[in-house]
Chains A and B, each alone.
Chain A
Amino acid sequence: MTDAPQDPSAAPEELPKDLPEATSRRLAELEHGLFTSDLSVNEFLLIKEVGFHPLGLVMGSSIYHTGIQTRKWGQSQELTKLTEAMYNARELAMTRMEEEADQLGADGVVGVRLDVNYYEWGKDAAEFIAVGTAVKAESGVSHRNALGKPFTSDLSGQDFWTLMQTGYIPQGLVMGTCVYHIAHRGLGQTLGSAGQNVELPNFTQALYEAREMAMTRMQDEADRLEASGIVGVRLEEKSHQWGSHTIEFLSLGTAVTKTSDEVTLPVPTTIISLDN
Chain B
Amino acid sequence: MPDAPADLPEAASRRFESRAFTSGLTVPDFAACLQSGLRPVGFVQGFCVMQWSWYGMGSPYNRGLSPYGGGGGGYSETYQCPHGYVSAEHRSWGQNYEQSWVEQAWSQGFGLAYGRMLEEATAVGAHGVIGVIDTSDRLSDLGVVEFHVRGTAVTVDGVPAPRGGQPWTTYLAGQRLTKLVEAGYAPVSVAAAVASVRVWAYCITEYLLGGGGSAWGGQQSSAEVTQVAAARTAARQLAREHVRAQLGGDSLHGAEMVVSEREVGEGDQEIQCLLRGNRVRRFKEFDPVAVPHPTVRLS
Contact = CB atoms under 8 A, between A and B. Distances in A.
Contacts of A230: 20-23
B9 A205 contact: yes
A25 interface: no
A219 B15 contact: yes
Given A204-B49, A209-B9, A271-B292, A223 B139 contact: no
Interface residues on A, range: 35 or more
A80 B56 CA distance: 38
Interface in B4-58: 9-12, 14-15, 18-28, 30-31, 34-35, 40, 43, 45, 47-53, 55-57
Contact of B146 (A155, A193, A207, A270): A207
B20 A231 contact: no
A166 B51 contact: no
A247 B294 CA distance: 49
A159 B139 CA distance: 33
A69 interface: no
Interface residues on B, range: 35 or more
B102 interface: yes
A232 B26 contact: yes
A231 B289 contact: no
A68 interface: no
Contacts of B12: 208, 212
B87 interface: no
A18 B226 CA distance: 70
Contact of B31 (A166, A215, A274): A166
Given A159-B26, A231-B23, A244-B141, A165 B9 contact: no
Contacts of B15: 212, 215-216, 219
A259 to B, nearest CB: 13
B140 interface: yes
A163 B56 contact: no
Contact of A244 (B50, B57, B140): B140
A208 B18 contact: no
B19 A253 contact: no
21 contacts: A184-B142, A190-B143, A195-B56, A198-B50, A204-B146, A212-B9, A216-B14, A219-B18, A223-B19, A227-B20, A228-B21, A229-B20, A231-B40, A233-B24, A239-B140, A270-B292, A271-B293, A273-B296, A273-B297, A275-B295, A275-B296
Interface of A: 155, 158-160, 162-163, 165-166, 182, 184-185, 190, 193-200, 203-205, 207-209, 211-213, 215-216, 218-220, 222-223, 227-235, 239, 244-245, 247, 253, 255, 263, 265, 267-275
Given A197-B53, A233-B23, A272-B294, 16 more contacts: A182-B142, A199-B109, A200-B144, A203-B144, A216-B14, A216-B18, A219-B18, A228-B19, A231-B27, A234-B24, A244-B140, A245-B140, A247-B140, A271-B292, A273-B296, A274-B296
> 10 nearest interchain CB pairs?
A197-B105, A212-B11, A244-B140, A203-B49, A159-B27, A229-B21, A272-B292, A270-B292, A204-B49, A216-B15
